[in-house]
């Protein structure tokens, strides 16, 4: 009696299933649009939908950052603190001491590059601790989250910073071709990320490292460089998200970004990004952001208390993990 060898699924079928999972949230978005129209006629108005998209741009950029890092096989809890610290530091360096600045009064044109540089620097330092010193990504980024939150409160003195440079206000309020500039920026960055991960060698390397770091290293991929790049890019994207939020709100809040990371993981998980690395697409992550934005708007229009929204997000994460377990058959660590 001979043992039967298992037959591997056809490559074409795997590709089709993967594409179906990428589009899995599209029907959910259509259903939410219908539900929103039934809840309140205001929901489908152009003003409301643009408002929903603009409010989700900051979250979208942080989700983009986290998705890239998750695909590489790591994760970063400190992104929410970068959203607050990077713009707070940049603004404090250019505004006068009388406006709660640091007294340096650097040129206001430096505010935007300083903000992005601060975010990238945090990502690079996280990479140093994780890759060179071989420390746990969870402990490193959790500790960094706390450190950056304390620095933000210290820099701002626990108060909001209001006298923003014109460049920061412009990014948060400009309108290009009938849409807020922040929507265009988020769309362009997601498009660039999707193209990179699908067609460029760097994107394929990211999936290879996240899927099996030892096999990727054996194949000649510089795994540490790939992960480090993901952390640096993620930090810069989180800083840009903070910049857009600061410009849109007209101030840097002392607690800006606080608690944002939970919503980021909710969007990434329901968008199909694997917590184990090497799986998921940025298009799915973007759909996850849109789903959460629509749910939030529908609940607000329906008069549901904001205190319940976080509970609903948590339930969505659990359902998404359950569905991922049932469809893939693979347990998550």
Asked if residue 21 is part of any domain, the answer here is: no
Tell me the two tokens of residue 101. 């600045």
User: How many angstroms separate the CA atoms of 89 and 96, rounded?
Assistant: 13
- Report the 10 Å Cβ neighbour count for 89: 23
What are the tens digits of pLDDT across the range 53-79? 998 999 999 999 999 999 999 999 999
Asked if residue 292 is part of any domain, the answer here is: yes
pTM above 0.95, yes or no: no
Give me the pLDDT at residue 6, please. Answer: 42
Q: Which residues contact 277 (CB under 8 A, 6 or more apart)?
A: 70, 71, 72, 73, 74, 209, 210, 211
What are the tens digits of pLDDT across the range 311-332? 877 787 777 767 666 655 555 5
Asked if residue 71 is part of any domain, the answer here is: yes
- Domain of 206 in residue numbering reads as 32-326
Asked if residue 7 is part of any domain, the answer here is: no
Give me the pLDDT at residue 20, please. Answer: 55
The structural domain count of the chain equals 1
Asked if residue 155 is part of any domain, the answer here is: yes
Asked if residue 288 is part of any domain, the answer here is: yes
User: How many angstroms separate the CA atoms of 254 and 274, rounded?
Assistant: 32
Q: Are 73 and 214 in contact (CB under 8 A)?
A: no
C-alpha closest to that of 199 among 282, 121, 122: 282
C-alpha closest to that of 229 among 150, 307, 126, 153: 126
Q: Are 141 and 126 in contact (CB under 8 A)?
A: yes
C-alpha closest to that of 58 among 246, 229, 230: 246
Give me the pLDDT at residue 5, please. Answer: 41
User: How many angstroms separate the CA atoms of 297 and 36, rounded?
Assistant: 8
Give me the pLDDT at residue 92, please. Answer: 93
How would you write the pLDDT of the chain (333 residues) with one tens digit per residue? 444 444 434 434 434 444 555 677 888 899 999 999 999 899 999 999 999 999 899 999 999 999 999 999 999 999 999 999 999 999 999 988 888 888 888 999 999 999 999 999 999 999 999 999 999 999 999 999 999 999 999 988 888 888 888 989 998 889 999 899 999 999 999 999 999 999 999 899 999 999 999 999 999 999 999 999 999 999 999 999 999 999 999 889 888 999 899 889 988 988 889 888 888 899 999 999 999 999 989 988 888 877 787 787 778 777 776 766 665 555 555
Asked if residue 24 is part of any domain, the answer here is: no
CATH number at residue 217: 1.10.3470
Q: 3-state DSSP: the chain helix, strand, coil percent, rounded to 5? A: 75, 0, 25
Give me the pLDDT at residue 307, please. Answer: 75
Locus of tokens 């340096």: 104
Give me the pLDDT at residue 7, please. Answer: 40
CA 258 to chain CA centroid, Å, is 14
Residue 23 phi/psi, 5° resolution?
-95, 5
Asked if residue 272 is part of any domain, the answer here is: yes
φ/ψ region of 214 (left if φ > 0, alpha if ψ in -120 to 50, else beta) reads: alpha
């Amino acid at each position: 009696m001979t043992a039967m060898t298992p037959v591997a699924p056809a490559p074409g079928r795997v590709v089709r299933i993967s594409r179906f999972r990428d589009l899995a949230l599209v029907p959910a978005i259509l259903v939410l649009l219908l539900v929103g129209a039934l809840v309140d006629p205001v929901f489908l108005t152009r003003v409301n939908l643009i408002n929903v998209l603009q409010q989700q741009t900051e979250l979208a950029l942080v989700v983009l950052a986290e998705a890239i890092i998750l695909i590489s096989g790591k994760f970063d809890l400190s992104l929410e603190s970068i959203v607050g610290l990077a713009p707070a530091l940049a603004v404090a360096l250019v505004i006068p001491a009388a406006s709660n600045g640091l007294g340096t009064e650097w040129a206001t044109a430096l505010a935007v590059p300083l903000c992005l540089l601060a975010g990238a620097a945090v990502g690079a330092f996280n990479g140093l601790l994780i890759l060179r010193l071989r420390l746990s990504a969870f402990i490193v980024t959790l500790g960094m989250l706390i450190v950056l939150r304390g620095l933000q409160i210290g820099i701002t003195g626990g108060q909001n910073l209001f006298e923003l440079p014109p460049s920061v206000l412009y990014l948060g309020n400009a309108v290009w071709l009938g849409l807020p500039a922040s929507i265009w920026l988020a769309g362009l960055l997601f498009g660039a990320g999707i193209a990179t991960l699908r067609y460029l060698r760097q994107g394929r390397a990211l999936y290879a490292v996240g899927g099996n770091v030892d096999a990727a290293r054996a194949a000649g991929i510089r795994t540490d460089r790939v992960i480090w790049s993901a952390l640096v890019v993620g930090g810069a994207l989180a800083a840009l998200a903070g910049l857009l939020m600061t410009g849109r709100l007209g101030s840097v809040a002392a607690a800006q970004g606080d608690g944002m990371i939970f919503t980021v993981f909710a969007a990434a998980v329901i968008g199909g990004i694997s917590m184990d690395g090497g799986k998921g697409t940025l298009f799915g992550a973007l759909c996850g952001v849109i789903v959460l934005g629509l749910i939030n708007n529908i609940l607000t229009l329906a008069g549901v208390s904001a205190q319940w929204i976080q509970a609903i997000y948590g339930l969505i994460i659990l359902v998404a993990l359950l569905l991922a377990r049932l469809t893939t058959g693979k347990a998550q660590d």
